[in-house]
A and B are shown apart, each in its own frame.
Chain A
Amino acid sequence: MLVRLEQRPEASKSMIYVSPLIAVVLTVLTAMVMFALLGVYPVKAIETFFIEPVSSLDGLAELLVKATPLVLIGVGLSLGFQANVWNIGAEGQLVIGALAGGGLALAFFDQQSIFLVPAMLVCGVLGGMAWAAIPAWLKTRYNTNEILTSLMLTYVGLLVLSYLVHGPWKDPQGMNFPESRLFHDSALLPILIDETRLNVGALIALFVVVLGWILISRHIIGFQIKVIGMAPMAASFAGFKEKRLIWLTLLISGGCAGLAGVIELSGAIGQIVPSISPGYGFTAIIVAFLGRLHPVGVLFAGLLMALTYLGGDSAQITMNLPNAVTGVFQGMLLFFLLASDVLIKYRVRFGAPKINTEAAE
């Protein structure tokens, strides 16, 4: 064989960080080919996609607004993924969290209170947790696959949202549009930079990144999460409780998703609409992997993925490309990442194996 994979004696620590860079480069190169095929001048397209959106203060602020939910959810998911708990229903948890927080805002629609926003955030977290608790309970009690249940619950969650905005929560003065009333000012997150949508949510996300970092690198719970993911038998040998960790990781990731939902609602949108998230819950899966399932990595990956959303919008406006390009980009990036990850455990060798004539140890 001309090209062979040769197992490394020990996983390469540097490749863990190099691999995402390789993936990004390969994605950009492939994207250029794709743009050329779509009849667009590739360099111009790349500029429109990746540079134009962030060449203004407003654009940068918008980048952070979009990165906020991705980073929040990504941190939560990365903890679960490390423990081999595959919560892929973050989109549903985001929606239910948003509904819990948004419902509170509607219930106290005409009240002025500085406690309203914090209460909404708490409700958001609880809502997301509650939705994630269902797969957790089913998995620990009935051994049900959480991938399928959490995903099915996403469809259910989206239908709950649809029901509410088309029915009970529809704005009575809204000309029959499926939207809730606009939130009162006291239900909105404080804006950080005037004239932009950048809000306190970004700081909350940053805080969650730091918390996640401490948890995974220094705390016994983070250690347990890592061990159970890498070697479940070693975890039970060490006395770590699998069910407890399943609950914990699902509640944390659900809570993060719910928090992201309510922040999106009260920070960026300001009312309940039929489509709260453009698939943040799914994109966050890619964010988690691209960020190496590490909170700090997730922060960078979240920024990059937020850029693909902005790029998609900008390509649609200035070049009339469908913004589905974003989804293709994201999927491609994950493919290239997974492919480059082979380099962590294996070396690529060309040509026939060489005979090492030095005596073995």
Chain B
Amino acid sequence: MSVDWLIPALLTIVTAATPLVFAAVGEVVVEKAGVLNLGVEGMMIIGAIAAFATAVSTGNEFLAIIAGAGAGMLIALIFGVLTVYLQSNQVATGLALTIFGLGLSALIGHSYVGKTFDGLAKLNIPGLSDIPVIGPVLFGHDALVYLSVVSVAIVAWVLTRTRMGLLIRAVGENHDAAHSIGYSVTLVRLGAILFGGAMAGVGGAYLSVAYTPLWVENMTAGRGWIALALVVFASWKPWRAFFGAYLFGGITIIQLYAQGMGVEVSAQFLSMLPYIATILVLVIISRDSARARLDAPACLGKNFHASG
């Protein structure tokens, strides 16, 4: 097998995985705090359009990504206020967030269809990125790819090694106890939700700014949902979510390269692969119900209202 084929393949894995990494790691934090936000898809798509619109109008990619994060956070705030303060059902509110996000992004994106810009530049590190194979694969990416790795590391460190992480886990584990020893369950949860929104927003921004610098309606194509499945797959551990995302990146590769390798299958069947793979992964991971329950935060999906 020639290396000419391998390098683009590996690069595709990275670009396919990066948006999932952002969204999934953000959702890990949200769920660790006991909140199930099913609106990842909606937050991603809002992040995508906000970033794209900013990139087109300012030409500044850095601002575009900030806009994506901010927009994701803003729409997550709606979810936060509804579930944390108004006690609305988390499942229903998450669905509403997705429906609303898809609608709003289509409305805003209406005037951006067909526009384009250069796309996020690759950071070619002189010297390092010239090394054959390893160079382009490890050192030839845009800044967001590196940011995704760094954010996984930070989240993993915060969750396991810091008091803040301890607090997030405590709130997700037993919100009544956390409240009675004097922590603000609402603030911790709201913070986690906003963080998750920002991360999903950046994941969406990656799609519209780096992956394909174009706006297409529904361009997230279910990635938000796949990110949710990754969180379960990862047993709520950031690094496992990271590897899960790369696994899915690998599946995307099969989809893109199968035809090139002469496999006679319709495009539609290949496009089904990520979705079917998600289902299979969920089956494998959920099969052992006792284990699945042990890993899940005990208060996941339950609302908290302090009595009195």
Contact = CB atoms under 8 A, between A and B. Distances in A.
B99 A286 contact: yes
A269 interface: no
A143 interface: yes
Contacts of B278: 148, 152
B219 interface: no
Given A144-B286, A327-B99, A346-B87, A335 B78 contact: yes
Nearest to A167: B266
B113 to A, nearest CB: 10
A50 B88 CA distance: 28
Nearest to B95: A285
Contact of B99 (A5, A334, A342): A334
Nearest to B293: A143
Interface in A316-341: 322, 324-332, 334-335, 338-339, 341
23 contacts: A7-B305, A138-B283, A144-B279, A147-B91, A156-B275, A160-B268, A162-B268, A166-B266, A286-B96, A286-B99, A322-B106, A322-B107, A324-B107, A324-B110, A327-B107, A330-B103, A334-B95, A334-B100, A335-B96, A338-B82, A338-B88, A338-B96, A345-B87
Contacts of A153: 275, 279
Contact of A147 (B38, B103, B266): B38
A331 B39 CA distance: 12
B268 A166 contact: yes
B104 interface: yes
B271 interface: yes
B92 interface: yes
Interface string B216-255: 0100011001001100100000000000000000000000
Nearest to A344: B87
Size band of the interface chain A makes with B: 35 or more
A159 interface: yes
A163 B268 contact: yes
A350 interface: no
A151 B99 CA distance: 13
Interface in B182-222: 217, 221-222
Given A147-B91, A332-B100, A155 B222 contact: yes
Given A148-B228, A155-B222, A162-B268, A327 B96 contact: no
Interface string A135-170: 000100011110111011101100110110011000
Contact of A145 (B221, B286, B307): B286
B272 interface: yes
A88 interface: yes
Nearest to B78: A335
